[in-house]
Copies of this chain bind each other. A is one copy, B any other.
Amino acid sequence: MVEIAVMGYGVVGSGVVEVLTNHVENIAKRAKEQINIKYILDLREFPGSPFADKFTNSFDKILNDPEIKIVVEVMGGLKPAFEYVKRCLEAGKSVVTSNKELVAAKGAELLKIAQKNNLNFLFEASVGGGIPIIRPISQCLAANDVVEIAGILNGTTNFILTKMIREQMTFDDTLALAQKLGYAERNPAADVEGYDACRKKCILASLAYGKHVYPEQVHTEGITGITLADVEYAAAWGGVVKLIGQVKMMGDGKLQIIVCPMFIPRDSKLANVDDVFKGIMVRGDSTGDVVFYGKGAGKLPTASAVVADVIDCVKHFKARKYLYWEDGSKDYVEDYLLNDVAMFVRAETDNEDIAFKNINKIFGGVTRLSRKRAAGGEIAFVTDIMQEKAIAAKLAELETLGVCVKNTIRIGDL
Tell me the A residues contacting B by CB distance below 8 Å: 19-20, 23, 26-27, 30-32, 124, 130-132, 135-136, 139-145, 269, 272, 284-296, 298, 300-301, 303-305, 307-308, 311-312, 315-316, 318-319, 322
Contacts and interface: CB of A to CB of B under 8 A. Distances in A.
B139 A312 contact: yes
Consensus secondary structure, chain A interface: mixed
5 contacts: A19-B143, A31-B142, A135-B135, A135-B140, A315-B319
Given A286-B300, A286-B303, A322-B30, A308 B132 contact: no
Contact of A140 (B132, B141, B289, B316): B132
Contacts of A294: 287-291
Contacts of A269: 293
B295 A292 contact: no
Contacts of A305: 140, 143, 287
Given A139-B135, A308-B142, A301 B316 contact: no
B318 A318 contact: yes
B290 A293 contact: yes
A304 B312 CA distance: 23
Contacts of A26: 142-143, 145
Contact of A139 (B23, B141, B298, B308): B308
Nearest to A271: B272
Given A143-B307, A319-B319, 6 more contacts: A135-B136, A140-B308, A144-B304, A287-B301, A287-B304, A318-B319
Copies in the complex: 2
Contact of A311 (B131, B143, B290, B318): B143
A302 to B, nearest CB: 9
Contacts of A304: 141, 143-144, 284, 286-287
Contacts of A141: 132, 304, 308
Contacts of A32: 322
Nearest to A27: B143
Contact of A308 (B27, B131, B143, B316): B143
B293 A293 contact: yes
A142 B311 contact: yes
A319 to B, nearest CB: 4
Contacts of A30: 142, 322
Contacts of A300: 285-288
A247 to B, nearest CB: 18
A272 B145 CA distance: 27
A393 B283 CA distance: 50
Contacts of A31: 142
A20 B319 CA distance: 23
A354 B144 CA distance: 62
Contacts of A23: 143-145, 286
A163 to B, nearest CB: 16
The 7 tightest CB contacts between A and B, nearest first, are A132-B140, A130-B287, A143-B307, A286-B304, A290-B294, A291-B293, A286-B300
A166 B287 CA distance: 27
Contacts of A295: 288-289
Contacts of A316: 319
Given A293-B269, A322-B30, A286 B19 contact: yes
Contacts of A130: 284, 286-288, 290
Q: Which of A20, A27, A132, A295 has the most CB atoms of chain B within a 10 A radius of its CB?
A: A132
B315 A322 contact: yes
A142 B35 CA distance: 13
A265 to B, nearest CB: 14
A207 to B, nearest CB: 12
A49 B52 CA distance: 68
B142 A27 contact: yes
Nearest to A16: B143
Contacts of A135: 135-136, 139-140
A264 to B, nearest CB: 14
